[in-house]
Amino acid sequence: MALLEVRDLKVYFPIRGGIFGRVVGHVRAVDGVSFAVNEGETLGLIGESGSGKSTIGKAILGLVPLAGGSIYFNGKDITRYIGKNRSSYRKGVQMIFQDVHSSLNAKKRVLDIIAEPLRNFEKNTPKEERKKVDELLAIVGMSNEDALKYPHEFSGGQRQRIGVARAIALKPRLIVADEPVSALDLSIQAQVLNYMKDVQEEFNLSYIFISHDLGVVRHMCENLTIMHNSRFVETGTREDIYGNPSHIYTRRLIASIPDVDPHKREENESRRQALNDEYERLYANYYKPDGGVYDLRSATGSGTHFVAMPTDKGEELI
């Protein structure tokens, strides 16, 4: 049984207009996506800016209202309780944010930042609390003296590690990590990713890892979904997506990653050129006339790999 299952999730944002600010339409930020996350696994959500990947993360945490769909956690339908404070779901699902400057309260000490979720859900004496915070800091490689400092005294990588410590304070089952390393330098990024992996092993955590960096996602995630125009265009295991990308959008995306081998430069460029032409030429085959994405269909008979295809053309395209 999957730890988290999301069925046909929809999030619409209202567009207001006119003198009375009436709702004149909706932006369909997420338009019917379904996925499941198993215990101890990492699911990668990949997409360009504006594709709706962060909105999915927020919807799972109850930070934006749902327009439709249902969410099952541990087999129970919790869609109605998702925004409720102090529910076991709130305790079991936590978030790591991208911007380490705005996600930590600048006026609070690290101790209070990390202890805040503990204070909401548990009753601890100050001594117990301090002990727990010190343990959490040790997990992310920081010393117990750091507990009394303020966020501005730390570098970006250290701040993100404080964010990780806060997210694991309540021993959650699932963490939604929204671009956790995008703002960090390469060497620091590696530190944070390593700590995230350690923590995952230690607590048997699941991650939903939202990112636009295909290299990081490949490193972190067993399962991937590629998002475009508010829908999934392809889902599968890491091997499915990188070894056998089937949707034209995925193929173009993967070909766009700069290669660290300078010898492949010309080869890469001509491949990108060919795929760009193909993308223009075959766009109508892969997308509905209004630009919408088709429903996912099983690709090449495998149980894990699904591609968004029209029903009538599916076979020949894959």
Partner 1 sequence: MSEPILQIKNLRTSFRLEGRYYAAVDGINLEINKNEVFAIVGESGSGKSATALSVTRLHNPNYTTIEGEVLFGGQDLISIPEKQLNGIRGKHISMIFQDPLTALNPLMRVGAQIEEPLLYHSNMNAAQKKARALELLEAVGMASPQLIYRQLPHELSGGMRQRAMIAVALACDPQLVIADEPTTALDVTIQAQILDLLRKLQKDTQASVILITHDLGVVAEMADRVAVMYAGQIVEIASVWQIFKNPRHPYTRSLLASIPSAGENSGRLNAIAGTVPTLRKMPRTGCRFARRTPWISAAAHQENPTYHEIEPGHKVLCTCYRSFRFEGVNGGDK
Contacts with partner 1 by CB under 8 A lie at 48-49, 141-143, 155, 157-158, 185-191, 193-195, 197, 212-216, 218-220, 222, 252-253, 255-263, 265, 268-269, 272-273, 276
Minimum CB separation of residue 186 from partner 1 in Å reads: 5
Contact 183, 156 (CB under 8 A): yes
**CB nearer to partner 1: pick between 48 and 122:** 48
Contact by Cβ (8 Å): 246, 318: yes
Burial 231-270 (b: 16+ CB within 10 A, else e): bbbbbbebebbeebbbbbbbbebbbeeeeeeeeeeeebee
**Cα–Cα distance between 156 and 167 in angstroms, integer?**
17
> Are the beta carbons of 249 and 229 closer than 8 angstroms?
no
Quickly list H helices, 122-185: 126-139, 156-168
Is the separation of the CB atoms in 188 and 155 below 8 Å? Answer: yes
CB of 96: closest distance to partner 1 in angstroms? 17
Least spacing, CB of residue 74 vs partner 1, in Å: 26
**DSSP label of 22:** E
Task: Answer for the pair 116, 166: CB distance below 8 angstroms, yes or no.
Answer: yes
Q: What is the largest CA-CA distance in the chain?
A: 66
Q: CB nearer to partner 1: give 120 or 204.
A: 204
Any idea what DSSP says for residue 305?
A: -
Closest CB 269 distance from partner 1, rounded Å: 6
**Which residue has 């343990």 as its token pair?**
135
Beta carbon of residue 15, minimum distance to partner 1 (angstroms, whole number): 18
Q: Nearest-5° angle of CA 57, CA 58, CA 61? A: 95
- Residue 245 CB, nearest approach to partner 1 (Å): 13
Give the number of residues written for the chain: 318
Nearer of residues 42 and 94 to partner 1, judged by Cβ? 42
CB of 43 to partner 1, least distance (A): 14
Render 213-232 in DSSP notation, one character per residue.
-HHHHHHH-SEEEEEETTEE
In whole angstroms, the minimum distance from the beta carbon of 91 to partner 1 comes to 28
